[in-house]
Structure 1
Amino acid sequence: MAYTPEKPKLARSSEELRASIPGWGADLDPKDRPSVPRERFDPDLNGAHWRFPERQPEKWPRERSIEHQFLTPVFGTSCPPKGLSGVLRRYAYRTYSEARAAHWLLLLAADRVDAVESTLGSFLTRRPDNPLAETGVRSELSHHGLASRARGRRVDRVHHPLDPVVVAAPWLLAGGAAYLALRRIARRRPA
């Protein structure tokens, strides 16, 4: 059972493994093991001081895989799910097994949605995100960015033409969408 101090049973015995895998169990003889003088063997010593670990209290419903009967005894609480990204995360855990690609793709999409939510949320604060300062675009102009990229044998030269597109495209697309939305609203308003 998961989260208990017992080890699962081996599928095959040592003799079967030694017969089928060349060199298996080569370190079983204490004469062949360099750590034997310091090693202490105690079959009852497994490191666990409990039969089942004490459970951390669950302050709000947490995501858990459908493969598990309950939450792990200890879990993270630093980033509770919120907004649309939280809805996506809960849906991924509630609907799909961790063995399915849809589970992980939904979690990746939730991360992207969380990034957009955080950026939009920053505009509601007194210090919104500054993409020019935070992406290092200004240092490209002030610290010989283009010259350092052109010289030498840099491995990342192949994707240099794509860097401005990757950094600027989302902001340009968002600005264009906002412009079109405002223009549509302005046209609908009676004069």
Structure 2
Amino acid sequence: MPYTSGRPGAAPNTALLRARIPGWGADLDPADRPAFPREQPGIPTGAHWQIPEQQSDLMRRERSVEHLRLTPVFGTAQPLKGLAGAIRRYAYSAYSEAQAAHWLLLIVGDRVDAATAHLSSFASARPDDPITQSGVLGERGRRPIASRFRRGRVDLKHAWLDPIFVVGPWLLPVVIAVPALRWAARGRRAARSGRAI
């Protein structure tokens, strides 16, 4: 039924709904619910604890300020490390999950983590390749520019930011290295001219 400006009619009674919709209200009667006996207090569940045993916190896991304690069991596969870890820890210790600053700091930590991973890949035997790993070559022949500006695209408002976030981490080392190399070359020239005198 389409929405109209008039007040909607009263809800039909349960007998009419049950007659019209097969299975409507099947779980209203507790006797018809397969899980109903388990919902009763005092039935043994087999658990030997009220709260599960607390996992040891050797890695100092982050905990939101809303919670009094860590969950009894938590993951340890991705420990926080470096500057990104410090930013994430600060987000958890200083701000509630209801505050935008908490989530913005987590995003900043993620971006710092991505940038350090890009930079550390240059020290490995197989550095990152932004051309093949970004999927740009896969768009060749599939109207990559026209498809970006098609009507109805939700991401059109922030499409101008995408090249900054994708290419930025690759250009940042160049932006830092070029002035540093110029400064080193200028110092070397000054040292040579000082020796010549």
Q: How much has 1:102 moved relative to structure 2? A: 1.8
Please tell me whether residue 129 in structure 1 is matched to residue 124 in structure 2. no
Asked which structure has the greater RCO (Cα within 8 Å, sep 6+), the reply is 1
Residue number among 26, 40, 47 corresponding to 1:34 in the alignment: 26
For residues 135 and 157 of structure 2, what CA distance do their matches in structure 1 show?
17
Q: Structure 1: where are the runs of 5+ without partners?
A: 1-21, 27-31
2:74 alignment partner in structure 1? 75
Relative distance call for 1:115 and 1:40 in structure 2 (3 A) is closer
Relative distance call for 1:149 and 1:77 in structure 2 (3 A) is same
For residues 44 and 185 of structure 2, what CA distance do their matches in structure 1 show?
71
1:96 alignment partner in structure 2? 95
User: C-alpha offsets along residues 61-86 of structure 1, whole Å, 9 cap, x if unaligned?
Assistant: 11111222211111121110001011
What is the number of residues matched between the two proteins? 160
| 8 Å contact kept, 2:64–2:96 | yes
Relative distance call for 1:99 and 1:172 in structure 2 (3 A) is same
- Percent of pairs with identical residues: 46
Give the aligned residue type for 1:33. Answer: G
TM-score normalised according to structure 2 size:
0.66
TM-score normalised according to structure 1 size:
0.67
For residues 101 and 181 of structure 2, what CA distance do their matches in structure 1 show?
36
For residues 60 and 123 of structure 1, what CA distance do their matches in structure 2 show?
28
Q: Structure 2: where are the runs of 5+ without partners?
A: 1-9, 15-23, 193-197
1:172 alignment partner in structure 2? 171
For residues 161 and 66 of structure 1, what CA distance do their matches in structure 2 show?
35
The structure having more radius of gyration, on CA atoms, is 2
Give the aligned residue type for 1:183. Answer: R
Q: How much has 1:133 moved relative to structure 2? A: 0.8
For residues 159 and 46 of structure 1, what CA distance do their matches in structure 2 show?
56
